[in-house]
């Protein structure tokens, strides 16, 4: 090869854990204490949940088509009726650290809340270790815009060579108000800029949520709580714009339910779990709007010729 020739783009490889690791915690909405174990999985397995407390319940693939509830979280269920809720923070950590294959065993109905962010799951993944597998990493490349929403809320998926998200939120409370963020996903940036952002809620809604079977495990230890225009947590915020960063964290986890990394620009205005899932359903309902492609090591698309796509 001549010195002025560029080397061929390296195809990314799938990743899994080096060893299993467990944690115990309380569900944010159910209030149930659960034990969860993350296990290595063979290439091509994807992210799969298993309810160890329900005999014969079968696997619950972490896939958009298995999302059955989007009230304040994303809940998955399989044909046997086994379900697991609040998967988005763990899914966000798996996406951020580029883990493709993992079996998650859990003995209760909900992923532990931990501190309300993805940071404890990043710590678990780091402790377990992450290793490459022989199989190439494939991605879902968005080919044409897809838009869902209404009444001032929308999520748009646009073609892009990597995975980028632009999120905007707007709340009447002065503690939150209007916040926006633009973020291109990579492991280092996810660790530093996103993973520590906590979920949040409003003190005035607590009793109503608990009556609906939600937020039963919520506390100042696993959520930022806003009362009027004040943040009640004594330690304050981890970021000045922690609220929109957590919405970004949620979106990263929700879109990893596509079943593979995505190559697109997500534009979310006052979005949430419901619209995130609706965007995936709209995308996959139109076969012309997406295709599978090989993924480069820098998380950009590789064309059929083996070159990185321009853009």
- Catalytic residue positions, numbered: 273
Q: In what order do the strands lie in the sheet with 230-231?
A: 200-202, 224-227, 230-231
Distance (Å, whole) CA 136 – CA 129: 19
Cα–Cα–Cα angle for 92, 111, 230, rounded to 5 degrees = 75
Asked whether the beta carbons of 232 and 226 are under 8 A apart, the reply is: yes
Q: In what order do the strands lie in the sheet with 21-26?
A: 21-26, 33-40, 102-106, 47-51, 59-61
Q: Specify burial of residue 208 (Cβ count, 10 A radius: 0-12, 13-18, 19+).
A: exposed
Q: Specify burial of residue 213 (Cβ count, 10 A radius: 0-12, 13-18, 19+).
A: exposed
Using alpha carbons, list the distances in angstroms from residue 180 to 68, 69, 154, 168: 28, 26, 14, 4
Which of 181, 164, 197 lies closest to 265 in space, CA to CA?
164
DSSP state of 74: -
Q: Is 270 left (phi over 0), alpha (psi -120 to 50) or beta?
A: left
Asked whether the beta carbons of 191 and 96 are under 8 A apart, the reply is: yes
Distance (Å, whole) CA 199 – CA 223: 5
């Amino acid at each position: 090869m001549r010195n002025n020739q560029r080397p061929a783009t390296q195809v990314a490889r799938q990743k899994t854990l080096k060893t299993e690791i467990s944690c115990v915690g309380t569900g944010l909405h159910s209030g149930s204490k659960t034990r969860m174990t993350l296990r290595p999985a063979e290439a091509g397995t994807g992210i799969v949940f298993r309810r160890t407390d329900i005999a014969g319940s079968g696997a619950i693939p972490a896939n958009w088509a298995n999302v059955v509830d989007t009230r304040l979280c994303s809940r998955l269920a399989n044909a046997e009726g086994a379900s697991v809720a609040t998967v988005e923070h763990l899914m966000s950590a798996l996406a951020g650290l580029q883990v493709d294959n993992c079996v998650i065993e859990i003995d209760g109905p909900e992923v532990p809340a931990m501190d309300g962010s993805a940071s404890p799951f990043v710590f678990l993944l780091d402790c377990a270790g992450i290793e490459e597998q022989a199989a190439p990493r494939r991605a879902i490349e968005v080919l044409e815009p897809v838009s869902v929403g209404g009444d001032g809320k929308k999520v748009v998926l646009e073609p892009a060579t990597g995975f980028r998200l632009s999120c905007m939120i707007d709340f009447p409370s002065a503690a939150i108000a209007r916040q926006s963020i633009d973020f291109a996903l990579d492991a280092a940036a996810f660790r530093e800029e996103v993973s520590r952002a906590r979920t949040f809620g409003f003190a005035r809604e607590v009793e109503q949520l608990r009556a609906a079977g939600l937020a039963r495990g919520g506390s100042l230890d696993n959520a930022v709580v806003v009362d009027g225009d004040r943040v009640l947590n004594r330690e304050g915020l981890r970021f000045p714009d922690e609220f929109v960063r957590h919405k970004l964290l949620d979106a990263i986890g929700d879109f990893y339910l596509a079943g593979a990394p995505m190559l697109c620009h997500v534009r979310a205005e006052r979005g949430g779990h419901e619209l995130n899932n609706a965007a995936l359903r709209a995308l996959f309902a139109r076969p012309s709007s997406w295709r599978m492609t090989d993924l480069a090591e820098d998380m950009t698309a590789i064309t059929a010729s083996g070159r990185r796509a321009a853009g």
